[in-house]
A and B are shown apart, each in its own frame.
Chain A
Amino acid sequence: MEPKEPAPETEQHETRDDEGHLPSPTLWPLGFAIGIVVLLVGLIINPLVISSIGAAIAIVFGALWAREATAELRRGSVVVEPERRELAPVGEGEVAHAEEQGVSAPQPVPDERFPRSRFLEGTTIGLGALIGGIITVPVAGFAIAPSFLGQKRHEVDLGPITTYPEGDWYIATFMTAPAEGEVSRRTAFVRNNGIFQNEPSFTIISNRCAHLGCPVQANGPSGAILGKPTIDEHTLSGPVSLVPVVPAGFGCPCHGGQYDTEGNRTAGPPVRALDRYTFEIRNGRLILLSTYSVSHVDGTGAQAQIHKYKQAGPGQHVDGPEQWFYPLQPPHN
């Protein structure tokens, strides 16, 4: 390609009286404005530190701005190097023709040194994204975070341990959050295993099926048919009801999962044994603390060897190769 001789600029940059004199474009006012903003924000947050930073920014950029704005006055008239550019290749002949005739054709806008439209486009998109982010992040956080953070599990007082005769099963229903009412009512199967190694031993099995979370039922007679009274107590953690039962095992009404009296799966779709409650004897009362998952239980009663795992949701394997599908669990109390 043949390098073209740049067309000499003649008329374009001559100062004309009917044109207002505009200062050259500059970015300094932007920095000045940021400094002012920081100063004002600092007045609210920390007048000493942040406001002084803001003032410093404003002074520096203000000085730079003033320096540039007054450059012409201080230096006298500035000699502007005429801008050189190539003429559009197509219209060359026509322009020449027009110039011959003395007709001033509308000149194409020269490439701006500082493309203002590009700057405005960038700031509009950037500020829009910033505003959008400032709004979206806390709102999305509010939608998601409360499900995972600050989740509290209340301890449940199941009454004095003398209520539970050794070797008998009870269906205990209680409220995990009395303030929320009936919706927090849960069920566990409780058996007093007697004293083992000088400690009272209890088997407390959650009724949440290890398949998909339906309420597991005791397979066997319960309530008045046994000739034993149903115990209704009112403890610190709301109403507690204890229904006597003689289970041969536990069964789920939804999809037919079956468990033995230790909660081991005997039939059906469950992937592990029933969950259990950790407990504590405090002042002679049985206190439920938290739940944990169980893969299986060897032995029975007080001598049972429970294979404990961190609490997992129903249907989630805690052992075997399938456990690798659930490497992370949400925080659990």
Chain B
Amino acid sequence: MAYRRTPTKAQIRRERMEELVTYPVDWLEERSGLVGGIRYFLFRKVPGDVNWMQTLGSAALTAFIVQAITGVILAMYYRPTPTEAYPSIVNITDHLTLGWLVRGMHRWGASVFIILMFLHMGRVFLFGAYKYPRELNWIVGVLILVTGMLEGFTGYLLPWDQTAYWATVVGINLNGTAPFLGPFIAQFLRSGQEIGGDTLTRFYSMHMMLIPGAIIALIGFHLYLVVRLGVTSPPWSPEAAGAEVEEEEPQALRPGLTRPVPRGIAAAQAEPGGSE
């Protein structure tokens, strides 16, 4: 039997402290598998030469989360009626503690969200990350962009000042000029023939419930596809993207899925339809 030093008091205390932390985590893990799931989701293999451009998607997601949280808090103080909407906005901005900050975060964060989505879209386009097998994720991303802009359109009315009101009148009438269905879309958005109190509550409901629900579902699907298909390596990467298999294995897979498409000299050397 190997000699073993009796643990010092400090060591024992340290072990106890560690147990105190690990026990609840283990308890949770044993019953839910959450820790493993989160590890699977977050600690993924990515190509070694990814760059900062590939954080734009996460940045857009962060912007959306900021919008969601600040929006929920603003809803605690905002009143969506024609007589009370603007006074409640003034109250949030001028009187409530930190109201100016949270409203400002929501107001400017809206633009940040849209801008980051466009930058992310540009990165995906320039890296060719929309190509097989990620075409569907591009489509889902475009839908997120559209729903995000719908959020902008519906949220713009809520301050219920002159800019908000007339911009929404113009926006609704723009929709009305769409051929064939336009007049009906406009009347649905307006909640009748004339813009009024129902328009405000309708936009509030869409801005608060309907469209965020759609965006969250779309983002969930977007992330699912990212996790499933892995991160694309940059176009100049010699490395296999998200390679979890050995170099010999992926011969069966199509180039671009887990190994880079041969380019330049590599493409010239690669024999088309070459043997294994």
Contact = CB atoms under 8 A, between A and B. Distances in A.
Interface of A: 144, 146-148, 151, 153, 176-177, 180-184, 186, 212-215, 254, 312-316, 325-330, 332-333
Contact of A148 (B172, B177, B187): B187
A316 B193 contact: no
A148 B82 CA distance: 21
B7 interface: no
Contacts of A186: 194
Given A147-B190, A181-B83, A213 B170 contact: yes
Given A181-B83, A330-B183, A313 B173 contact: yes
24 contacts: A146-B191, A146-B192, A147-B187, A151-B192, A176-B194, A177-B196, A180-B82, A181-B83, A182-B83, A184-B196, A212-B177, A213-B169, A214-B166, A215-B166, A313-B183, A314-B173, A315-B176, A316-B176, A316-B182, A325-B182, A326-B183, A327-B180, A328-B184, A330-B183
Contacts of A214: 166, 169-170
A266 B177 CA distance: 21
B220 to A, nearest CB: 21
A78 B170 CA distance: 80
B179 interface: yes
Interface in B168-221: 169-170, 172-174, 176-177, 179-180, 182-184, 186-188, 190-197
Contacts of B193: 151, 153, 330, 332-333
Band of interface residues on B: 20 to 34
A323 to B, nearest CB: 11
Nearest to A177: B196
Given A183-B197, A326-B182, A313 B191 contact: no
Given A184-B194, A313-B176, A328-B180, A147 B82 contact: no
A147 B182 contact: no
A186 B166 CA distance: 13
A328 B188 CA distance: 15
Nearest to B200: A183
Nearest to B196: A183
Contacts of A333: 193
Interface string B57-88: 00000000000000000000000001100000
Given A181-B82, A213-B170, A312 B183 contact: yes
A146 B201 CA distance: 14
Contacts of A148: 184, 187-188
Most chain B beta-carbon neighbours within 10 Å: one of A144, A215, A315: A315
Given A183-B196, A325-B179, A328-B180, A315 B173 contact: yes
B170 A254 contact: yes
Nearest to B186: A313
Contacts of A212: 169-170, 173-174, 177
A40 B195 CA distance: 47
- What 3 A-B pairs are tightest by C-beta distance, nearest first? A325-B179, A315-B177, A313-B176
Contacts of B82: 180-183
Contacts of B183: 312-313, 316, 326, 328-330
Most chain B beta-carbon neighbours within 10 Å: one of A177, A214, A330, A332: A330
A333 B192 CA distance: 11
Nearest to A313: B176
Given A147-B192, A316-B177, 5 more contacts: A146-B192, A212-B177, A313-B183, A328-B183, A328-B184
A267 to B, nearest CB: 19
A186 B232 CA distance: 56
A254 B166 contact: yes
Nearest to A183: B82
A177 B195 CA distance: 12
A313 B172 CA distance: 10
